[in-house]
Amino acid sequence: MNYFLILLILLSFSLSCGKFENSPYGADAYNTEYNLAAVRYLSTFQTSSSTYKVALISDTHNYYDELEKLVKKINRGGYTFVIHAGDITNFGLNSEYQASIKIFKKLKVPMMTTAGNHDFLSHGEIIYRKIFGSPTYSFEFQGTHFIFANNNGWESSEGGYAQDWLENELKESTASQIIITTHVPPFDSDRYSDEDIHRWKDIIAPYNIPYYISGHNHNHVVKDFGTTQHITVGSASKRSYTELTFSPSGVTHKKINF
């Protein structure tokens, strides 16, 4: 049975009854908290394999044709779950969330998200939190601590505290390795001062973080950032995404075109 079909059945009923949206500018979304539901699903996931794959996507915006093709590609890829690094929408509109979710419903595996800066435009932050829940959270899966943090400091007051929250989360982690996802790259010189960028590096330096994942810039780029490798996941409009493979020997990445 399609995972998202089960998870989003209540949303399907709401769409069929026309209750999801009264206005394209409204914030009348249901309280579904899909991030939490996906994490709970993974907590019950049973597998005999010590190797698994995760699909990394980002900046799907209103590229709906490309998103349809992306979902089809992921469904054929044998992934355990999907990480979306933000910018599900273009203007944070209810209508855009609705259009994207209709496509995400076709995924056969869970998807966890954090919010992008575009997702918090207009009433977008209210809508995001009602649909997906908090954009700042974490969970552990097969020995890896996956951390999602809202670092959209210009669009959200919570984003201004992302460094403090991340620092505390890392201190409390007992996992053997950690993967971090934020929408804005920690080296973004438009949003962060040199002092801020150095602090991002200092925060992650003591920990085993093979990859720090972001979106925002739309182009697939892999570069060293302090003690970790940073992946900027390409936009759906660029017809690519990133694959992480977890195995007993470590974590590797690969760009996948579709």
Written in H, E and C, the secondary structure of the chain is: CCHHHHHCHHHHHHHHCCCCCCCCCCCCCCCCCHHHHHHHHHHCCCCCCCCEEEEEEECCCCCHHHHHHHHHHHHCCCCCEEEECCCCCCCCCHHHHHHHHHHHCCCCCCEEECCCCHHHCCCHHHHHHHHHCCCCEEEEECCEEEEEECCCCCCCHHHHHHHHHHHHHHHHCCCCEEEEEECCCCCCCCCCCHHHHHHHHHHHCCCCCCEEEECCCCCCEEEEECCEEEEECCEHHHCEEEEEEEECCEEEEEEEEC
C-alpha to C-alpha distance for 116 and 132, rounded to whole angstroms: 13
**Do the beta carbons of residue 180 and residue 204 sit within 8 Å?**
yes
Q: How many domains does the chain have?
A: 1
- pLDDT, tens digit, 9 for 90 and up, residues 25-78: 666 656 789 999 999 999 998 777 899 999 999 999 999 999 999 999 999 999
The yes-or-no verdict on residue 8 having pLDDT over 90 is no
Which pLDDT does position 121 carry in this prediction? 97
Task: Quick: pLDDT tens for 70-128.
Answer: 999 999 999 999 999 999 999 999 999 999 999 999 999 999 999 999 999 999 999 99
Give me the chain's average pLDDT, please. 91
pLDDT of 29 reads: 56
Percent of the chain residues past pLDDT 90, beyond the cut:
85
In angstroms, the CA 166 to CA 254 distance is 26
Stretch 147-175: mean pLDDT: 96
58: domain range?
3-25+33-43+51-257
Residue 12 vs residue 237, higher pLDDT: 237
CATH number at residue 127: 3.60.21.10
pLDDT tops 60 at residue 21? no
What tens digit of pLDDT does each residue of 193-212 get?
A: 999 999 999 999 999 999 99
- At 48 the pLDDT is 77
pLDDT at 19 over 50: no
